[in-house]
Amino acid sequence: MLTLTNDMLINITKQVAIYFGIPVLCAGLLGNILNIIVFLSLKTFRQNSCAFFLIIMSFLNIGQLLTSLVSRIFITGFNNNWTETSISFCKFRNYCLQVCALTSSTCMCLATIDQFLVTSLRSRWQQLFNIKRAYILCIVFFIIWLLHGVPTLIWFSPVISRRTNDITCTIINLNYQQYFTYGYTLILTGMLPILITVVFGTLAYRNVRQIRFRRVPIVRRELDKQLTSMVLIQVVHNFFVVVPYVTILIILTSTTPTNYPSNYMQIVLAIAITGFIYYLYFASPFYIYICVSKRFRQQLNHVLFGRYKKRPVEQIISINQILPVFQEF
């Protein structure tokens, strides 16, 4: 009976990977590419620091989906685990996963802080972030997370798991395992970015409600309102997709193997489900933006189709152009 239940849970886990993971991958890649196209095509976004953070985040989300989600689909859905046979891929996958995830969440935090500052009534705070400083911040944090991931290249290796007696890519240093569980997973991936985005998102929302009292051009005011609404809804979404995965992962890594010999497959299934839900963090920004912002939908339509609609009109005008006729009286 136990074997039958385990086989059923394994099959469910595979189905989740195939029928949920693959659509998330395809939709995420398409959405992030469209984000990049829209943000880079419009001068309004190219000169805005918050939009710049969202552009960098979109690139990193693509990297996370390609390096982490693709391999997760093969590992869980098709039993093709390259991390068990290749030490290099075991280290590379976990290194890229950390760098992309941390830099992406950092950009999200910076975008939220940026919207709090630019919607503030204090003019000095509005000047703290600009596009040049956004460049510098992204470069600095990217270097920090590159260096932060170096221990991953050292202490991740394929070993025989005590839980399953199978080869698995895991940490071989006990001290780094403790840091990975509580420092990286709990704090850097879970609590810290959620706390920062929720606090500054709430403050930005309060500022937006008072934005009509600011003496700024209406174009700038509408852009601030648009970006703030996009970022705020994404903050709420991120909370619900990150917290379950981090919680289950903490439970799994902090429990000894002897404490759950009978329900291990249930935990694996929970990890699979919450893990693929977690990848919605990297796949869903574009779809949040088009649902939240009517202006973003119009900008997307303009970038993709607007320019092509103008060409025939311009040609007609040039062909049928009538020179003015001046009459002498």
Domain spans of the chain?
10-297
Q: Which residues contact 241 (CB under 8 A, 6 or more apart)?
A: 277, 278, 280, 281, 284
Cα–Cα distance measured from residue 306 to residue 300, given in angstroms and rounded to the nearest whole number:
9
| pLDDT value of residue 263 | 67
| pLDDT value of residue 7 | 79
Phi-psi region of 165 (alpha: psi -120 to 50; beta: other; left: phi over 0): left
Cα–Cα distance measured from residue 67 to residue 70, given in angstroms and rounded to the nearest whole number:
6
The first and second tokens of residue 189, run together, are 């991936």
Q: How far is CA 255 from the centre of its chain?
A: 29
Cα–Cα distance measured from residue 266 to residue 275, given in angstroms and rounded to the nearest whole number:
14
Q: Please name the amino acid found at residue 189.
A: T
| pLDDT value of residue 258 | 55
Cα–Cα distance measured from residue 101 to residue 192, given in angstroms and rounded to the nearest whole number:
13
For residue 103, what are the CA distances in angstroms to 56, 77, 79, 108, 110? 9, 28, 30, 9, 10
Q: For the domain bounded by 10-297, which CATH number is listed?
A: 1.20.1070.10
pLDDT in single tens digits along all 329 residues of the chain: 455 577 788 888 899 999 999 999 999 999 999 999 999 999 889 889 999 999 999 999 999 999 999 999 999 898 888 888 889 999 999 999 999 999 999 999 999 999 999 888 787 888 888 899 999 999 999 999 999 999 999 999 988 776 666 778 889 999 999 999 899 999 999 999 999 999 999 999 888 877 665 666 667 778 888 898 999 999 999 999 999 998 888 877 766 555 555 566 777 788 889 999 999 999 999 999 999 999 999 999 999 987 655 555 444 444 444 344 333 33
For residue 237, what are the CA distances in angstroms to 44, 143, 233, 279? 26, 28, 6, 12
> How much is the pTM?
0.86
The first and second tokens of residue 221, run together, are 């005011």
| pLDDT value of residue 221 | 75
Could you tell me if 246 and 190 are in contact, meaning their C-beta atoms sit under 8 angstroms apart? yes
Q: Of 145, 157, 141, 183, which Cα lies nearest the Cα of 93?
A: 157
Helices (H), the chain: 2-16, 22-41, 43-46, 49-64, 70-78, 87-118, 123-126, 131-148, 150-155, 174-178, 192-209, 218-254, 264-278, 280-283, 285-292, 294-301, 307-319
| pLDDT value of residue 262 | 58
∠ CA 241-243-248, nearest 5°, is: 110
Rg (alpha carbons) of the chain, rounded to whole number:
24
Could you tell me if 33 and 39 are in contact, meaning their C-beta atoms sit under 8 angstroms apart? no
Cα–Cα distance measured from residue 298 to residue 74, given in angstroms and rounded to the nearest whole number:
38
DSSP assignment string, 78-100? H---GGGT-HHHHHHHHHHHHHH
